[in-house]
Amino acid sequence: MSSTKKLLKMSLRRTMTVLMHLMMMGLVLVGASSEEDDDDDEVAMGTMFLESFGYMKKHDPNHLVTREELRPYVAKMQSFYNLPVTSELDAETVAAIKRPRCGVSDLSVTESELNGEPGTLYSNNDKYSLFVYAKRKKRYVLSGASWGRTTITFTFDNYTPDLPMNQVRREVLRGLKVWSDVTPLKFQELRYGMGEPDIHIQFAAQEHNDEYPFDGQGGTLAHAFYPGPGLGGDAHFDEDEQFTAGTSEGTNLFFVAAHELGHSLGLGHSDVSGSLMAPYYQGFQPNFRLHEDDMMAIQEIYGPNPNPPVPTQGYYPGQGPNPTSYPGAGGGWGGGGGGGGGGGGGGAGANYCSMSFGAVANLRGELYTFSGALMWRFRNSQLVQGYPVRTSAFFRGAPSNIDAIFEKPGGTTVMIKGSRYWEYSGVNLKPGFPRSLGRMGLSNGISAAFSWPQDRMIYIFGGEDYWGMYNYRQRVDNNEYPRNVLEDIPGLPLGIDAAFSSKTASYFVRGAQYWRYDHSSGSLSQGFPRNFHNDWLGCGKPQLLVESAASKSGGEGASNAQVLNFQPMTIALSVLAAMLSQLFILNFQRI
């Protein structure tokens, strides 16, 4: 009996051991299966995203897409989203995929696929360079469609119950204003019975009769159709979202509306981080300003606003800082009488007609020249009264002997000296400056710089090289630059002292001479070099002192006269009159 018990115990132990092994194997298999399931879910999610937003074509549903097959498409998506290009569905990429976004496609396909379908773009991405007609990609994308006119009509089909009706209207109208502020576009609302509008604004959930159903809260927030008949121009908002105004809670209606209406006008998505037309939702921005990339895109379709509004506040009244002063506006940029230790009009800086300048800039239509610690200001080739002044008295904390100066969009002035650069908002130094030129991708040895508005680029010169930088970015484009000055601008000498631009040309100054670069012909103009001092500073002709904006706006000593004439003939007549008067007095005394 005891032997039987022993056999039973041994058998039981073996059975338990086998069961334990089986259980452990089961756990391993379950764990492996769970990991495989997670992997499959990730691949499925990635595939759906890449197909939905233009990165890859729809696959055969009978074919199971593998992680390896996704690699080139994931890399494309990572590049567009400005993520590290690993070609893997890593954590950062998956987080970007899950981010709430617009339902419109990101990348180009073909013109034949446009036809009122949201999410299909085509674009001519070629753009000429300033000095060489090398091809450069635009950062933004155009849909290839536009309304072909500047008056666009719209209507509200319905309203979200998330906000009062008047507030919904206000937020959407602000979204339209974003685009009309920088273009000649005018938006006209059509009420019921007034005809068929270009743009229908509609709030809907799930299926809503356009073959592009919404997906519930989160995910796709809205979509819009490019200009055209039928659904063309219409903007649809997912009613399952919680739309809000003036708060970081929920989904900000103004931001989503401004983005979608950009599509309604013909814009595609941009790969520039922070641009309004980036594909993903960026949240409530109380001090919103339209990004330079968005402005470039919309103006390429419709042109700039011939009468741009004065930038007094953001799109949320009362929530943004007042703009800083700018040239010609009086106040901080008025530059009147050389106060604050500036000194004005005399001394070593008075004879500017025989000086060489280390930097020259065209700031808001006025020419500023710099030499040593002083700066001069000219309007219509006439010296403004009260100049020169010390540069540091005008631009707070500015260095002496600057190497280059240029203006960025929005009125930011940039000075370069040695291995550092200073940025000014109006006349006030921005926090954190000066900074190292290395942050721009440059080193010292810079001699000149200017911005070219038509190309939206800043060009920086040093020695035999020059660099180009998008004026909304902080670094030069190292893929295309530096380039050689002598090769790209034949006839321009080395050793230029300064450069500046006007609406039609760029100018290079060396000593008393200057050269003109004609952008329409892509070459230096005939008949140059010419005398810089004579043509631009009014030297070699009777000098006029022009009152500054500060004086004309009611400063101390202001008069009704805008120009004080000190021409030689006037002075001679005054002296002669004084002599005759004195002679008359002497003769009268003798009598």
The neighbour count for residue 550, using CB atoms within 10 Å, is: 22
Tokens of 297: 């895109």
Give the per-residue SS3 of 514-558. EEEEECCCCEECCCCCEEHHHHHHCCCCCCEEECCHHHHCCCCCC
Q: Which among 408, 402, 369, 375 is positioned nearest to 389, based on CA atoms?
A: 375
Residue 200 annotated as part of some ligand binding site: no
Query: How many whole angstroms separate alpha carbon 526 and alpha carbon 508?
Result: 14
Residue 102 annotated as part of some ligand binding site: yes
Residue 465 annotated as part of some ligand binding site: no
Query: How many whole angstroms separate alpha carbon 351 and alpha carbon 336?
Result: 19
Residue 271 annotated as part of some ligand binding site: no
Query: How many whole angstroms separate alpha carbon 395 and alpha carbon 423?
Result: 10
Give bridge partners of residue 390 from the DSSP assignment: 374
Per-position b or e across 422-433, b if 16+ CB within 10 A of its CB: bbbbbbebeeee
**How far is Cα of residue 266 from the mean position of the Cα atoms in its chain?**
18
Residue 232 annotated as part of some ligand binding site: yes
Q: Pairing between strand 186-189 and 151-156?
A: parallel
Q: Which one of the listed residues 51, 113, 249, 260 is annotated catalytic?
A: 260
Work out the angle between the directed axes of helices 2-52 and 67-80 (0-180°, nearest 10). Answer: 40
- Give yes or no for a contact between 142 and 125, defined as CB atoms under 8 angstroms apart: no
Residue 240 annotated as part of some ligand binding site: no
Catalytic: 260? Answer: yes
Q: Pairing between strand 151-156 and 199-204?
A: parallel
Tokens of 119: 């999410």
Cα–Cα–Cα angle for 207, 213, 218, rounded to 5 degrees: 115
Report which secondary-structure segment, H or E, holds 506. Answer: strand 505-510
Residue 117 annotated as part of some ligand binding site: no
Residue 208 annotated as part of some ligand binding site: yes
Residue 215 annotated as part of some ligand binding site: yes
Residue 519 annotated as part of some ligand binding site: no
Q: Which among 352, 439, 430, 446 is positioned nearest to 397, based on CA atoms?
A: 430
Q: Give residues with Cβ within 8 angstroms of 77, minimum separation 6.
A: 49, 50, 53, 55, 83, 93, 96, 97, 106
Residue 508 identity (one-letter amino acid): F
Residue 264 annotated as part of some ligand binding site: no
Residue 275 annotated as part of some ligand binding site: no
Residue 533 annotated as part of some ligand binding site: no
Residue 334 annotated as part of some ligand binding site: no
Residue 447 annotated as part of some ligand binding site: yes
Residue 181 annotated as part of some ligand binding site: no
Long-range Cβ contacts of 567-574 (<8 Å, 24+ apart): 567/542, 568/542
Residue 231: strand, helix, or coil:
coil
Residue 433: strand, helix, or coil:
coil
Residue 223 annotated as part of some ligand binding site: yes
Q: Pairing between strand 101-102 and 220-224?
A: parallel
Catalytic residues: 260
Binding residues for Zn(2+): 102, 208, 210, 223, 236, 259, 263, 269, 277
Binding residues for Ca(2+): 162, 198, 215-216, 232, 234, 238, 241, 403, 447, 449, 497
Binding residues: 102, 162, 198, 208, 210, 215-216, 223, 232, 234, 236, 238, 241, 259, 263, 269, 277, 403, 447, 449, 497
